Amino acid sequence: MKILLLGSNGQLGWELSRTCPETIQLFTCDYPGVDFLSTASIHNCIESTEPAWIINAAAYTAVDLAQTEKLKAFRINHEAVKDIALAARLKNIKLVHISTDYIFSGQHFAPIRVDHPPDPQSVYGESKLQGEQCVTELLEKSSLIIRTAWLYSSHGANFVKTMLRLMQEKQRLTVVDDQIGTPTWANGLAETIWSAIKKNLTGIYHWTDAGCASWYDFAVAIQEEAVSMGLLKKTIPILPVPSSSYPTAAKRPAYSILDKQKICDALNITPPHWRQQLRKMLHETTL
Ligand SMILES: NC(=O)c1ccc[n+]([C@@H]2O[C@H](COP(=O)([O-])OP(=O)(O)OC[C@H]3O[C@@H](n4cnc5c(N)ncnc54)[C@H](OP(=O)(O)O)[C@@H]3O)[C@@H](O)[C@H]2O)c1
């Protein structure tokens, strides 16, 4: 089976490439080979590969910059996704599209179900919501949307790698403790996507690793694990602070735990705990 992977050099794209089952003929593409700012570029990429499935792992992910680069964020996260969905409908191609916890308000007190009404609080969140809505409208029966959160990987820039760098450079760190989510290894999400494609799954689902943490809890765990495996040589104090200590251009959700029951039932899987996944990622990380 031929599959076209867009955004192959991002965190998730890289994990999808290295976990791809042998039975799949994977065609990978990323910027500038395909440019989501250009409809023609997207069409050329799809027409030259003629896949059975497209996985869209590309996105405009600069959450704060999106507040000022609104047009670019919407072009990449909404209009380009519409271009892909229209081409997929025309050519009978199935589409896997990735979305985010940022489509929700973040004002929740229990894991957020797939059918909870969206209420994005940032340009990034709104652009991602419009992207997933046009996928559902154009490809209702032949698309799979997976919303995820707090992704990290040994490839690309993310919280784990930033913390490891700062823990080497600084004498102490302050990290926000009033935003709650689930750290999620992109490798596990990639494996879940391959299982979902194998089962021909369609519809909207949530996937993250299991458990929950604040950014502060996550930072403490990164340090503990990295020190215990000899990746870091020393421990530094890490202090919890409120989000108000770190003003950002885009508002972050205070609560981002996604309810994963629907995908667990559909694929008969259980997500691994985030800390177990963190350990695996750190084992393949060099400083
Ligand atoms: N990271 C998270 O914490 C998180 C959380 C929830 C949901 N998600 C969603 O999960 C998916 C994967 O995220 P990720 O963390 O793997 O993202 P990422 O590492 O930022 O990768 C995004 C990819 O999109 C590509 N891209 C950006 N602009 C492009 C353009 N104009 N044309 C073509 N490609 C372009 C990037 O290429 P360049 O590297 O060349 O820019 C990069 O390869 C996205 O849909 C994201 O919204 C992510």
20 Cβ closer than 6 Å to some ligand 1 atom: no
pLDDT of res. 21: 98
User: Mutate which of 56, 151, 152, 160 to test ligand 1's pocket (most atoms within 8 Å of Cβ)?
Assistant: 151
Q: What is the mean pLDDT of residues 185-201?
A: 98
pLDDT of res. 287: 85
Note the maximum CA span of the chain. Answer: 57
pLDDT of res. 174: 97
31 Cβ closer than 6 Å to some ligand 1 atom: yes
Q: Does domain 2-158+182-210+257-272 have CATH number 3.40.50.720?
A: yes
Return the number of other C-beta atoms located less than 10 Å from residue 169's C-beta.
Answer: 9
Token pair for residue 213?
């943490």
Distance 228 CA to ligand 1 centre (A): 31
Q: What is the mean pLDDT of residues 80-98?
A: 98
**Does residue 205 carry a catalytic annotation?**
no
Mean pLDDT of the chain: 97
Whole-model pTM: value is 0.97
Proportion of the chain above pLDDT 90, given as a percent: 99
Q: Tell me, what amino acid is at 230?
A: G
Q: What is the mean pLDDT of residues 42-58?
A: 96
Residue 173 clears pLDDT 90, i.e. is over it = yes
pLDDT of res. 286: 87
Catalytic-role residue among 124, 152, 205, 255: 124
User: Do strands 151-152 and 143-148 pair parallel, antiparallel, or not at all (unpaired)?
Assistant: unpaired
Task: Tell me the per-residue pLDDT of 250-275, one tens digit each, with 9 for 90 and over.
Answer: 999 999 999 999 999 999 999 999 99
